[in-house]
Structure 1
Amino acid sequence: MIIVTATITAKPGKRNEIISKSNDLIKSTRLEPGCINYNLYASTENEDALVMVEQWENKEVLDTHMQTDHFKAFGVAIGDILAEDLGIDIYSAEKV
């Protein structure tokens, strides 16, 4: 299993718009084969910061997810309201 964190920083006052635009993405992604978990969380310290925490069976299903229409549409929908590029980190869920 792999874990992905996608840090999303909204322009000031745009966090709720990103949350709203994420609803279709989250709903559709949770139905994808290989998706174990897919949730959006709001920072308690920065009112413009969000993080998407994802769990996938493997890198191949994640790669497939990133080619879906709903994933691409979300990226387009929030492009103008991001304060900075998404921060994507991918981790192995195996114990070290």
Structure 2
Amino acid sequence: MPEIIVVATISPKPGEEAAVRDAVLAAIPQVHAEPGCGKYALHEATGDSTDLVMIERWESMEALGTHSKAPALAELGKALGDKLAGPLDVKTFTAVAAGDADKGSI
């Protein structure tokens, strides 16, 4: 069964950037402890954008489904409240390994 890669873009409202970043950072240790979590890493946009991007790797769609109902995500949703400029943009993928095995996939 292929691992699932998730790319989730989080767009804070102006003035809410620090609060959104802090809320996501607070959730990370709990998510790392969830079954099937291989990667849950926060990235900040460069340049003028204030977007945050989570790059995630889950051992299966089932593990990702469990994550979507886990307490950490529920708490994060409450903490984000109305601090986002719009809904999360979440996309799921499976890797297409190419070239060097260590460099060709996440």
The answer, yes or no, to whether TM exceeds 0.5 is: yes
Instruction: From the two aligned structures, give the one with the greater strand fraction.
Output: 1
Instruction: From the two aligned structures, give the one with the greater helix fraction.
Output: 1
The 8 Å contact of residues 14 and 48 in structure 1, kept in 2 or not, is answered as: no
Q: CA deviation at 1:14?
A: 1.3
1:21 to 14, 20, 23: 23
Structure 1 stretches of 4+ with a deviation exceeding 4 A read none
Structure 2 unmatched ranges of 5 or more = 99-106
Q: CA deviation at 1:64?
A: 0.1
Structure 1 unmatched ranges of 5 or more = none
Aligned length: 96
Which structure is richer in relative contact order (CA contacts within 8 A, separation 6 or more)?
A: 1
TM-score by length of 1: 0.92
Q: Distance in 2 between matches of 1:43 and 1:11?
A: 14
1:8 to 10, 22, 41: 10
Structure 1 SS opposite 2:81: helix
Residue 69 of structure 2: aligned partner? 67
TM-score by length of 2: 0.84
